[in-house]
Copies of this chain bind each other. A is one copy, B any other.
Amino acid sequence: MDKNFGRVTIPTDENFVEGTRKIAARWGADAVRDCDGTAFPSNVGELAEKVYHTYFVVRGDDDWADAHPEEAHRAFLMSERVTAGDDSAVIEVMQGYFAEQIRPDWDHLELWEVYDRTAEQKTEEWTADPDKGTVTVRGALPMHEYTVNFLARIVWHPVQIYNYLTNHWTCARQKMYDPAFPETAVYVRRHMEAWCAAHPEADVVRFTTFLYQFTLLFNEKGREKYVDWFGYGLASSPAMLKAFEQEYGYALCSEDFVRAGTYNTPFCPPTARFRDWMEFVQRRVSATVRPLVDIVHRHGKEAMMFLGDDWIGAEPYGPFFQELDLDAVVGSVGGGTTVRMLAEIPHVRCREGRLLPYFFPDTFFEGNEEGARAELDRNWRTARRALLREPLDRIGFGGYLSLAAKFPSFVDRVSEICREFREIAETASEPWCGLTVGILNAWGSLRSWQCHMVAHELWYQQIYSYQGVLEALSGLPVKVRFLSFDEVREKGVDPEIDVLINAGDAGTAFSGGDAWSDEGLISAIRAWVAAGHGFIGVGEPSAWPKGGRFFQLAGVLGVDKELGFTLSEDKYNLTKRPHFITGDVRGEIDFGEGMKQIYALKGAEVLDVVFSERCRRDVNVGEVRLAANEFGRGRGVYFAGLPYSLQNARLMYRALFWSAHREEEMFRAFSSDPEIEVHFYPGSGIWAAVNNSERPKTTTCFDLQKRPHELSLGPGELKWFNL
């Protein structure tokens, strides 16, 4: 392998040709790309082995859009709530929405619906006034809240609005057109063909992306109003609805999309109708995009998908992804979890991760060289943990290369990272795994490594305490599988799995909500644990109030949540005890948002508990944050939350081995210092040790026979060795 060349993509633009050449040489970049907002120099083919060219399927040709307004994308949106003062309510449909982004589709009033949200009932007594932009409800019940589900025409591409607002763009606004309509269906193929012919310099067509943008709406002030990276809502054009009805034999209505304003976010346990819709959209996207990919291939080019923007319906872990026949996927790397999400995508030959920071002025401003380098390091350190488990094929950067070029120490650091990445990509295949973990939620494998996400990669207070579970796992020597409740109900727990994890807030698709009302699921998992497996719950696992319990697996986990109905019961199990799981803990454990009102059942071992400082007596209070429990021949572990940190990754690792009854096996391919992680690659016999801290470290590394070896690493060092 060439340590100094290849596997790296860099951005370029027409104003930075010589600079591109120099940096490409420094970083060993073998590919250049354009970015949203930049243009290639004319001699781009000379800059690198490969040229990636951005391609848009459903935007970019406003003449077409203007000529076919009926073929625009649509979304069902809920109006604001209006409380009826008397027997009528007047709803201004567009209130709270951005008039430059959407227009009510008054031509399809047959698809609109009006709901009494107080009574949870649909009403038919309403009229629309397009001139005033209102819907008037007649025969309203006084003091009930009414909303209109209206069909909206998308008149400006959401991501472009985002760039206008974020990056102060002023270029022409792009409209959208949906190939579910007959004319656009023909057009997109014709355009693809012509484009390929006109762009011989493009080796790789970088689809950004396909047909349906994830839900991204703006408010009346042009600020972001609603963002769901998984949202299927913007696919709901009349053409799509009609095709769905023909295929599935029943019609979806606006409320199937609106769902009282929750819009089927991935946090909502999915309805059967919404699952049908997702399947339909995925099948349609594959069927529509595959001919475009075939055209690309016929022109001798490769087809690459950007995992973002109009990616809806092209779920990489979905059943129809293979049919796209893509060559490559590229996505943004936010940390270990996104690395794994990208690196494990099946049915493509190349998976590329775009590292952070993006070369934009928000990071690359004068005086922030150290800040930019720190962001790069942070991104690389978290990504690297996961790359050592499942490497990407390529990395890259985006934005304006000329900005990065101004920071020499940043450029140097990227050079090092590129070299380190090449070593990992060549070496880190099929690592040794200590056991297999199953993440159990409503989505299962379809959303592998995509749990608890709202807007892509952003920090949310409600999710980081759960995201930490995946981030920890992304760099640990374990196999990770994603299982759905349906799958477990139908086929039982996959025999490969040693430990199941259920993490999330009560009622959500990640905890499970009404999935836990099914005693078949509950008894299947109890039986599986009792037979000698492990179950780890985080937050509000298996939460569903029934039979006097809130956690349906309270008996497995050894804890339940107090909802106020068992306050009269004295709780005595409040003494924190040392345990195998907490063997490496230094100082306080960070439970993130944690969880209030958790108490331990008799027999459970309390590993962490917090007491209110206000209490003047010492019984009946104390909130348990970490507990371990025996259940039959198996074991349960409860965490109140697990934000990502090196200490928490070790806690989770220990919890996995303890719950699987394999404590002794943990000390294989193991570092005594939790800030150092050790990996072994049986195929090559090579070992890797990575110091995830900023300090030089010496640790005891145990081989597969648990023999100790002293090991010293510099700050952040990755070391390859043989034992």
Contacts and interface: CB of A to CB of B under 8 A. Distances in A.
Count of this chain's copies in the oligomeric assembly: 2
A462 interface: yes
Interface string A282-299: 000000000000000000
B570 A620 contact: no
Contact of A118 (B117, B519, B563, B564): B519
A409 interface: no
A143 B528 CA distance: 10
Given A83-B526, A617-B458, A596 B597 contact: no
B570 A227 contact: yes
Contacts of A225: 569-570
A621 interface: yes
B570 A621 contact: no
Contact of A226 (B228, B568, B612): B568
A505 B262 contact: no
**Chain A, interface size: which category?**
35 or more
Interface in A512-556: 519, 522-524, 526-527, 530, 545-549, 552, 555
Interface string A382-406: 0000000000000000000000000
A228 to B, nearest CB: 4
A248 interface: no
A201 interface: no
Contacts of A596: 593, 596
A83 B527 CA distance: 10
Nearest to A565: B262
Contact of A262 (B227, B523, B548, B643): B548
Interface stretch (A35-43, A158-166, A263-271, A479-487): A263-271
Nearest to A229: B568
Given A141-B519, A262-B565, A265-B566, 9 more contacts: A120-B546, A143-B526, A144-B523, A145-B555, A227-B568, A231-B568, A261-B566, A267-B564, A461-B615
Interface of A: 78, 81, 83, 85, 96, 115, 117-120, 141-145, 215, 219, 223-228, 231, 259-263, 265, 267-268, 454-455, 458-464, 504-508, 519, 522-524, 526-527, 530, 545-549, 552, 555, 562-570, 572, 592-593, 596-597, 602, 612, 614-617, 620-621, 623, 632, 643
5 contacts: A142-B523, A143-B530, A267-B565, A463-B567, A507-B565
Shortest beta-carbon contacts, A-B, top 6: A260-B548, A117-B547, A143-B523, A143-B526, A262-B565, A261-B548
